Amino acid sequence: MDGNKQEINSCPPSPEKLKSTKCKRYKQDTISVKSPDSQSDSQKTEELSKDYTDLIKSEKISTAPTLGKGRSYVPQSAVALRCRVMPPPCIRNPYMKDASETDADPFGSWRTKYSGYLSAPSGADSMSRYRTDFQEIEQIGNGNFSRVFKVLKRIDGCMYAVKHSIKQLNQDTERRKALMEVQALAALGFHENVVAYHTSWLENEKLYIQMELCDYSLSFHNSSGSLSEEEVLKALYQIARALKFIHEQGIAHLDLKLDNIYVKNGVFKLGDFGCATLLDKSLPIEEGDARYMPQEILNENYDHLDKVDIFSLGVSIYELLRGKLLPDTGHQLLKDGKLPFLPRNSLQLQNLLKAMVDPDPAHRPSAKEVIQNPIFSRTVQAEKSM
């Protein structure tokens, strides 16, 4: 019956320290040796100290450059540790309001200069921060460029979501896009309706992002049209509040859809800032899913990037109410500002959505105007009473 006592999915021990073929190095203050002779404790300590000193000297000699061979010995543990702890270069965050206007290309050729520091050695001797710090539970999401895993952090025992790139970031455009997402998240800071960002790191030329773990997303496969209008209004209100927050910091999301709206403990949160850019158009613009994009951005008109997010939110909420996925190219009637009637939902809500998908971006409400709509009076009261 002892086999039944073992816990299922118990947290495995951290990877063992790397071993070398040399003698073990013992700590002077933690060695306890029993001897059958009559030596005193002080004599034992002196001998152990001398042995330890001799061992250090011998190691120094063995690692010194050897004449005639043209190379020096570096322990694999030292190489792995250096790759683990050496930081990537400091680069300017263009999303910060006080960012310097100099260094238009802050990324440069850092991969060539710092490749020895950013890449972990491959094979069994690699010291992976991801494997050392986290226990992988299950995969909870994937895309064309990245996967998301539910993980348990060993040191604090809490669950997180870790997103990492599928391929190594060898191309400059790939590195640029990946780092932009991290910088946008870091610049935004905390907001209750934005998926929280914790930290990120580069490992084996792949980017890892540790984020808040949510319960599920509002994608069609999870919602299935089962939300009531009151719950849909709550989602619309809270995501509009998230848009107000990021727009006030000069950032546009540009990939708002049900897949990127998450729920945690009944709170709706906006996530996935892989397409985020600046409203002033000072950064490259890469629009997200074409099904949720208004016509002006498909025509490369980037004068109202904040209103692009408003359009995408309106289309997403309409899709949620409709209970059916949009066509691959989007619903052309929606792009033309024509909202098909939804008989089960109130006219007040449908009128708000119609304003949000107006073909003229100047006529769409701002995020602040959306949350000030009288339709949310009950939603606001419910939040205040909590």
Report yes or no on whether pTM surpasses 0.75: no
Contacts of 59 (CB under 8 A, 6+ apart): 22, 25
Per-residue pLDDT of the chain in tens (386 residues, 90 and over written 9): 554 444 445 555 555 544 444 444 444 444 444 444 444 444 544 554 455 455 445 544 444 444 444 455 556 655 555 555 445 555 677 877 765 544 444 444 433 333 433 343 444 345 799 999 999 999 999 888 899 999 999 999 999 999 998 888 887 777 777 888 999 999 999 999 999 999 999 898 899 999 999 999 998 655 566 789 999 999 999 999 999 999 999 999 999 999 999 999 999 999 999 999 999 999 989 889 989 999 999 899 999 999 999 999 999 999 999 888 887 666 788 888 888 888 999 999 999 999 999 999 999 999 999 999 999 998 888 888 87
Active site residue 29: no
Exposure string over 103-128, b if 16+ CB within 10 A, otherwise e: eeebeeebbeeeeebbbbeeeeebbb
Residue 63's closest CA among 25, 37, 34? 25
Give the integer Cα–Cα distance in Å for 275 and 256.
10
In CATH, the number for domain 216-384 is 1.10.510.10
Which one from 54, 103, 255, 272 is the annotated catalytic residue? 255
The reply to whether 163 sits in an annotated binding site is: yes
Q: Which CATH superfamily is domain 106-121+129-211 in?
A: Phosphorylase Kinase; domain 1 (3.30.200.20)
Q: What are phi and psi of 286, to 5 degrees?
A: -130, 105
User: What pLDDT, on a 0 to 100 scale, did the predictor assign at position 93?
Assistant: 77
pLDDT at 384: 81
Domain(s) of CATH 3.30.200.20: residues in the chain? 106-121+129-211
Domain with CATH 1.10.510.10 in the chain: 216-384
